Each structure stands twice: as structure tokens, then as C-alpha cells.
Amino acid sequence: MISIEIKPYLLNKKHVFRIAGGARTNTPILLVKLKYESYSGYGEASMPPLYGETIETAQAFIRTLDRSKLTSPLEIVTIVKYLDQHAPGNTAVKAAIDIALHDLLGKIMNVPLHQYFNLPKKELKTSKTIGIDSAEIIEKRVEEAASYHYLKIKLGGNNDSEIIKAVRNVSDKPLFIDANQGWTNKEEALDKIAWLKEENVIFIEQPMPKKSFADMEWLVARSTLPLIGDEGIQRLEDVKTASNFYHGINIKLMKSTGLHEAFSMANLAKSLNLKIMLGCMSETSCAIAAAAHLGAMADWVDLDGNLGVTNDPYQGHQVINGCIHLNDTNGIGLIDPNWNKIETYV
């Protein structure tokens, strides 16, 4: 049988994080440890308020599980199916258990997780995210991110042109743009896309509200830049119709219920000729380490959720000059996690 331990945690950000939908300085996290025989596996649920999960709901989900269903990591397909049927939603806490199960599997099989998925070890050029802020602060953040190959710029407020001007005052790096559903007029969105194409932008993530289906169909047929679904693409079912609204999808473990479904989403996206972006929330090195093992499947990588925090309890894959270097540790790749020394913050 598999046993579960949990620790509520508050992950603090180095800077105020602003997007079109609001601002915050921390993220509620539920850290999870699974034990099976002599092995320990680690996972986490990152729960930004936007998605409706809390430490309380995550704890309740785990508390009501039928522990007899948690037989062995080797039965992972059966277990994740049970988790999904246990209660609707709760995708982040499901991801936490899924990640820890995969960590156990890698350790039992004595392989880093990318080998379990039969994927090559690849150096991953992650973008560095710059939130919405004043021009002065944005210039400072961009200069701090000088070692990264790509910058991810948050737009969708009322100062998009000011933000891009500030970025271009100090950097000519290629940009990923994330509007976080902030553009509400399709014609204006199309005009912004044409403007941003001239600013060395690679793609636009979630330009319009996720339920603006007709507007997104109109926009995707006319856009001169790839449009990537994030809030509009949560799980495997969403991928089946994604090409009606987007040119690609952003896969995040906290949305997909973990690695098992994320891997299926990536395979389905490839079969449909959709581009793949691998993204994250504000996360510790645990969830980032797990997601990085799927990096070889991605066209673009945005796995910097552990780089802008002050109290990451773990150490995972190294980031050198903007590149994530997968280590050879079995499982997800955490280096000597010391569970007992992690202080509960909530």
C-alpha cells in the first residue's frame, strides 16, 4: 500500500505578480509525499486563486480518498483513473499525487522520468516571465533576465504599448506574449497581433476570453502569429477541438491532473499538428522538475515558476544561462529532498 503525507505551504514571490486578471505576492501550495516500501515520491499542488482550489479543498480531497485504491505505483493508470472519478475538478491536488506516483515509478525502475516516457534528454530553453507593471520596473525585470533566450511578457491591461516599449528599450530578445484573456474585441486583437509581429514576437497566448469561441474562430483564421490556448485548454478533451480556436496548446501539470494526462495531451496535439507549449504556475522545483521531463515534446518551454520565488523548499534541475539541464537523478529529479526540514507555512 501507498501512504500519504502532506504539508501546507505558502510559496512567496520575489516581486508582485500582475496579470490582466489581478495581482498577488504568494501562491498556496500543498506538498505531498508518497511512501511505498523503501521508496519516497514527491509531488505538489500549486493553487493560484484563479482556478478555485485551496489548501482546504486539497486536504479534503486527500482525506476522503479510499486508501485501499492506492495499491502500488505500478498500478498508476488505475490509480489516476480512480483519482479523477473520486471528485470533479481538484486538478492540482490530483496532479500532486500523480507527480509523486511518477517519482516513485522512476525510483523503482531506476531511471530518470524522461526515460520512463521514452523521451530523449534535452536542454530546454525556458522563457522568463515579466508581469504587468510600470515601465521602470519592467525595464529592470528585463535586464535581470538577460541570461534567458526568451522573455514571456504579460499583456492584456490598458498599457500594452507602454509595456512593449519598455521591453524594447532594454532588450531585443524574442518574446512570448500572454494576454491572459485580456483582449475582448476581436478586431482590436487582430490589430495588436499585426503590431506585435513587427516586435519580434513568437506567439500570442490566450488573447481572448476562453469562452469567446466565435471570436477565437474568427481570430485564429486571420492571425499572422500562432495563437496558443491556455485558460481555454485544460484537459485532454479540450485538445480534440483545440484547432478550431488555436494553433497550439499550453500544457500545465496543474491543469491536466499531472504527467499521465499531460503526456497524452502532448501526443494527441502532435497527431493534430498543434504546437505544444509546456507551462507552469508559480511552483516549487518539485513540479517544475517533473514537467521538464516532457520538455522534448514541446516546441516552447515556459518552466520558470520556481525561479521567481524566495522560499523554494527543494532543489531540482539546474538552470544555466536560461537553459534547464535535466539531471540524472531517478524519478522527477529532486536532489536530496529533506521532507522533515520543510516548515509548514499555512
Domains present along the chain, CATH in parentheses: 3-110 (3.30.390.10), 116-325 (3.20.20.120)
- The values of phi and psi at residue 190, to 5°, are -65, -40
The whole-number pLDDT of residue 346 equals: 59
Grid cell digits, residue 18: 500582475
What single DSSP character describes residue 98?
H
Handedness of CA 74, 77, 82, 83 (dihedral sign): positive
Amino acid, single-letter form, for residue 269: A
- Rounded to whole angstroms, how far apart are CA atoms 223 and 208? 13
Q: Could you tell me the pTM of the whole model?
A: 0.96
* Cα gap 286→102, rounded to integer Å: 12
Element (H, E) at 85: helix 76-86
What b/e string do you get for 115-124 counting C-beta neighbours within 10 Å, with b at 16 or more?
bbbebeebeb
Q: Show the cell assigned to 211.
A: 469562452
Angle at 46 between CA 40 and CA 48, to 5 degrees: 170
* Rounded alpha-carbon distances, angstroms, from residue 103 to 211, 261, 330: 35, 15, 8
Q: Walk along the chain (346 residues) and give the pLDDT tens digit of each residue.
A: 999 999 999 999 988 777 766 777 899 999 999 999 999 999 999 999 888 999 999 999 999 999 999 999 999 999 999 999 999 999 999 999 999 999 999 999 999 999 999 999 999 999 999 988 899 999 999 999 999 999 999 999 889 999 999 999 999 999 999 999 999 999 999 999 999 999 999 999 999 999 999 999 999 999 999 999 999 999 999 999 999 999 999 999 999 999 999 999 999 999 999 999 999 999 999 999 999 999 999 999 999 999 999 999 999 999 999 999 999 999 999 999 999 999 987 5
